[in-house]
Amino acid sequence: MSRSERLLTLIQALRRHRRPVTGAVLAEDLGISIRSLYRDIATLQAQGATIKGEAGVGYVLKPGYMLPPLMFSEEEIEAIVLGQRWVAERGDESLSKAARNALAKILSVLPPDLRDEAELSSLLVGPGEPLSVGDQELAQIRAAIRKERKLIITYSDKAGETTQRTTWPFAVGYFDRVRVVVAWCEMREGFRHFRTDRIHALEWIDTRYPRRRAQLLTEWRRSEGISGL
Amino acid sequence: MSRSERLLTLIQALRRHRRPVTGAVLAEDLGISIRSLYRDIATLQAQGATIKGEAGVGYVLKPGYMLPPLMFSEEEIEAIVLGQRWVAERGDESLSKAARNALAKILSVLPPDLRDEAELSSLLVGPGEPLSVGDQELAQIRAAIRKERKLIITYSDKAGETTQRTTWPFAVGYFDRVRVVVAWCEMREGFRHFRTDRIHALEWIDTRYPRRRAQLLTEWRRSEGISGL
DNA sequence: AGATTGCTGCCAATTTCTGGCAGGGTTTAT
DNA sequence: ATAAACCCTGCCAGAAATTGGCAGCAATCT
């Protein structure tokens, strides 16, 4: 196994363990000595991987995605740049920032001539309608989704009636003018859609909901007759 | 210089030359022997780079972007997935395909557990308004922009008057419901915006327009009072 | 036909990588 | 406070990979 392959294997090994892992265990996994492991960790860190090593504890990998070298066509890069510009323009503040960071990371590794090319990429995103109310809460909602946490929301439906519901949020739909939270509603015992601009209040309760997000998503898709992706 | 650095340098060296370059020249550039160069080329090809070598001619790199290993945070990957889904949904056919390919490339290199996570990413893009007319031509327009070629368009303005104009297209703006081609108009001697759904006919003439795309873009930005990006 | 160039196998010299050791520093547990 | 576990670095000899030269074949261009 080449060294560069091994580095990817190391990332995956780190990811498998949620709790801190000692270097000795990782070295055993990879079939290398501790000394080499330290060198590999250092190399990964130099490449931008966020591996934290604590004396007396072990290593933890800050959740993230390490991508190996990749080749994209011109048009694929155009699609990526355009997509990130759209998210930067239309996403909530936190997601927008992530999009700008991701784009900056990609651009920063391109040779200067290509970077200019991509920065000046000719695909532009027009400003959207002013952000609908409730966009600030979107970051919170996305966090709840990622952590599979229950969310109590105060919601006004189309008829104007306001209710308070405990929900299991698992997706956000981005439409041109509105964002919609897709969730299981405990009150109605069914899937419900909530426009973010009709959500008045959000309460995060630190309780994990009893189902897996992915499973809810596929079930909801089936119930709505939406094919995969 | 480590080998992996050198491989990136090689990509850049290949890109600088538009015409085929012989291995001997590249080896000279990098300060390595021909023999090692052949090995480096093979390694890059194995990593997905599209380098074509023809006996008696030399090497050419199919235009594209080679990215070194990159680390993204969870949120950054969410932004990328969402962005590509948006482009896949809203872009013209060719760009949409590029977005799907780019996404597939990224997903394919993730370890299985993360791939599921990303595939099932909870950020969804709603279907847009039905694609405005003229979307088929967008791929052509983008190609003209990339190659800095003149474009003769038959256009109906807001008042309904139809004219034929020779234009130098340099950007496309993506709005919620319309796409707008930004171009220098020879007839009006100024920057003009053309909604794609009001373009009736397109004629590609294989003449390069006399200005650089990037320069047109920055000038147009200044004239419109738009800050960079 | 001859020149140019891509491409592969082989092998010795060179360079890099590796693993063990020794020692220092920090955190956790007792 | 002491001990144990662990991260981290420098050093060095042995192991492994890389490199460059050579020889030879195939495809392409003039």
Query: What are A19-56's pLDDT values in tens digits?
Result: 999 999 999 999 999 999 999 999 999 999 999 999 99
Higher pLDDT, B229 or A91: A91
CA/C1' separation A4–D17 (Å): 13
Residues 6+ apart with CB under 8 A from B25: B17, B58
Across-strand partners of B25?
A: none
Mean pLDDT of B97-123: 91
HSE, side-chain direction, 13 A CA sphere, residue A92: 24
Q: Residue A117 pLDDT > 90, yes or no?
A: no
Q: How confident is the model at residue B225 (pLDDT cuts 50, 70, 90)?
A: confident
Q: How confident is the model at residue A58 (pLDDT cuts 50, 70, 90)?
A: very high
Note whether B153 and B170 are within 8 A (CB). Answer: no
Check A99 against B106: CB less than 8 A apart. no
| CB of A57 within 7 Å of some strand C atom | yes
| CB of A42 within 7 Å of some strand D atom | yes
Residue A169 in 3-state DSSP?
A: strand
Q: Which helix (H) or strand (E) holds B221?
A: helix B213-224
Check A71 against B49: CB less than 8 A apart. yes
Mean pLDDT of B126-143: 77
Please report, for residues A24, A120, A191, B128, the alpha-carbon distance to residue B137 in angstroms, rounded to integers and kept in the order given: 59, 22, 40, 19
Note whether A141 and A151 are within 8 A (CB). Answer: yes
pLDDT of residue B129: 67
Q: Residue A131 pLDDT > 80, yes or no?
A: no
Across-strand partners of A149?
A: A208
Higher pLDDT, B137 or A24: A24
* Mean pLDDT, chain A, whole residue set: 91
Q: For A63-107, what is each residue's pLDDT tens digit?
A: 899 999 999 999 999 999 999 999 999 999 999 999 999 999 999
Check B64 against A86: CB less than 8 A apart. no
Chain B residues whose CB is inside 8 A of the A123 CB are 142, 171-172, 174
CA/C1' separation A212–C13 (Å): 59
Q: How would you classify the pairing of strands B179-185 and B190-195?
A: antiparallel
To 10 degrees, the CA torsion angle through B101, B104, B109, B111?
A: 180
Chain A residues whose CB is inside 8 A of the B213 CB are 120, 122
Chain A residues whose CB is inside 8 A of the B177 CB are 176
Percent of chain B residues past pLDDT 90, beyond the cut? 74
What nucleotides of chain D have any atom within 7 angstroms of a protein Cβ? Answer: 4-11, 17-22, 26-29
What nucleotides of chain C have any atom within 7 angstroms of a protein Cβ? Answer: 3-10, 16-21, 25-28
pLDDT of residue A224: 87
CA distance B191 to B171: 11
Q: How would you classify the pairing of strands B179-185 and B162-174?
A: antiparallel
Q: Residue B118 pLDDT > 90, yes or no?
A: no
Q: Residue B229 pLDDT > 80, yes or no?
A: no
Q: For A137-184, what is each residue's pLDDT tens digit?
A: 898 999 999 999 999 999 998 898 999 999 999 999 999 888 999 999
* Mean pLDDT, chain B, whole residue set: 91
pLDDT of residue B211: 95
Strands in A135-189 per DSSP E: 149-156, 162-174, 179-185
Minimum-distance CB partner of B79 among A62, A87, A172: A87
Mean pLDDT of B83-111: 95
pTM as predicted: 0.91
| CB of B46 within 7 Å of some strand C atom | no
